[in-house]
C-alpha cells in the first residue's frame, strides 16, 4: 500500500526574535526556503515579536530599557513578518485566487508576544492602547499562548508546562517524551534537541526542541552562551506522530537561499 499521499511535510520556524537594530537578512533566507520546499504546513513556534519595550526582566530606568518604544517594536515585528512571508504569498495567491500550493499556516503565540497581555494585567490603563491586535501575522491562524495543537499526530506548543508548576518541562528528550506522552515539537529554548523513543506498543514517538532562528546574540547569555544552533526544521513523512527530521542550519540557509533559487523542489 502506498502511504505517500497520506504523509505530510511540515515547515517549522523556531523563534525568530525580531527587534529593532538587528540584522534581519535571515528572514529573506527562510522566506525563500518556505517557497522552495513547499511543505503542506508552515508552523511558526512563536516569539517572532521580541517586544523588548515590555520586558519585565529589565527594570525601568536601566540602560537596557533606554529608547524602549512599543510602537517601534510592533512596526519592526510586522515588517519582519511581511518579509518572512511575502515570497510565499506571491506563489499561493495569484489574481486573488489560491494557487495549486495552499499550505495551512499556524502561529503559536510565544512568551514574548504574551508580554502584551502581562503588561495589561499589571496595569489595566494599557488596555485601550496596546493589544494582540497590533501584531500583523497575515493569514496565519494564531493560537493562544501555550495552547497545545495537534497536526498529523504531532503535538505543538511554544513550550510544554509541567503539570505541577508554571515552568517549562526540561531535561533530555527521552525524559520529556515520558512526561508529554506524544510526539512533540516546541520552541522557546535556544538550540536544537531531537530524539526518539520506541515504546513497547511498537509505536515510535519523536521529540523536537528548536528555539532559535536568528543571527544576533543575546546579551543576557554572556560571552559563552550564544553558541547554540540556529535555523529551521522540516519534518518529512509526518503521519500519526511519526516523522523524519531535517534541520536546516542558518549557515546552510545563507549558502542555499542567500539568492533566490531558480525553481522549487519537486514533490513526489
Tens-digit pLDDT profile for residues 119-160: 999 999 888 899 999 999 999 999 999 999 999 999 999 999
Domain segments of the chain as ranges: 7-257
Distance between terminal CA atoms of the chain? Answer: 16
Least confident of 106-110, 170-174, 206-210, 225-229: 225-229
**pLDDT value at position 227?**
84
User: Is residue 268 predicted with pLDDT exceeding 80?
Assistant: no
Q: What is the pLDDT of residue 1?
A: 41
* Domain range 7-257, its CATH number among 2.30.29, 2.30.130, 3.30.70, 3.60.21: 3.60.21
232 and 33 in contact (C-beta within 8 Å)? yes
Strands (E), the chain: 8-13, 41-44, 93-94, 97-98, 104-108, 141-143, 149-151, 154-157, 184-186, 192-198, 204-210, 231-239, 242-249
Scanning the structure block, which residue is given the C-alpha cell 530599557? 65
Question: In whole numbers, what is the pLDDT of the chain averaged over residues?
Answer: 90
User: What integer is the mean pLDDT of 244-260?
Assistant: 93
pLDDT band at 63 (very low <50, low <70, confident <90, very high): very low
Query: Residue 99 — pLDDT band, cuts 50, 70, 90?
Result: confident
More confident residue, 151 or 61: 151
Mean pLDDT of 159-171: 91
pTM of the model: 0.91
Amino acid at each position: 500500500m502506498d502511504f505517500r499521499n497520506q504523509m505530510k511535510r511540515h515547515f517549522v520556524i523556531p523563534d525568530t526574535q525580531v527587534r529593532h537594530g538587528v540584522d534581519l537578512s535571515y528572514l529573506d533566507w527562510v522566506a525563500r526556503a518556505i517557497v522552495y520546499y513547499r511543505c503542506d504546513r508552515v508552523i511558526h513556534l512563536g516569539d517572532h515579536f521580541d517586544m523588548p519595550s515590555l520586558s519585565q526582566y529589565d527594570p525601568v530606568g536601566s540602560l537596557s530599557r533606554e529608547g524602549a518604544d512599543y510602537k517601534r517594536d510592533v512596526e519592526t515585528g510586522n515588517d519582519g513578518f511581511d518579509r518572512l512571508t511575502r515570497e510565499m504569498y506571491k506563489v499561493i495567491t495569484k489574481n486573488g485566487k489560491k494557487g495549486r500550493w495552499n499550505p495551512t499556516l499556524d502561529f503559536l503565540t510565544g512568551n514574548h508576544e504574551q508580554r502584551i497581555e502581562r503588561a495589561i494585567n499589571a496595569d489595566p490603563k494599557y488596555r485601550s492602547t496596546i493589544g494582540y491586535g497590533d501584531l500583523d501575522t497575515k493569514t496565519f491562524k494564531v493560537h493562544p499562548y501555550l495552547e497545545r495543537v495537534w497536526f498529523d499526530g504531532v503535538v505543538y506548543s511554544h513550550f510544554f508546562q509541567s503539570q505541577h508548576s508554571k515552568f517549562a518541562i526540561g531535561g533530555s528528550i527521552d525524559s520529556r517524551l515520558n512526561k508529554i506522552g506524544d510526539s512533540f515539537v516546541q520552541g522557546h529554548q535556544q538550540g536544537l534537541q531531537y530524539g526518539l523513543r520506541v515504546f513497547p506498543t511498537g509505536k515510535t514517538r519523536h521529540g523536537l526542541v528548536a528555539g532559535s532562528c536568528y543571527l544576533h546574540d543575546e546579551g543576557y547569555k554572556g560571552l559563552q552562551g550564544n553558541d547554540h544552533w540556529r535555523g529551521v526544521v522540516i519534518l518529512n513523512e509526518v503521519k500519526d506522530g511519526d516523522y523524519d527530521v531535517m534541520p536546516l542550519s542558518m549557515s546552510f540557509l545563507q549558502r542555499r537561499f542567500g539568492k533566490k533559487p531558480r525553481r522549487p523542489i519537486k514533490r513526489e
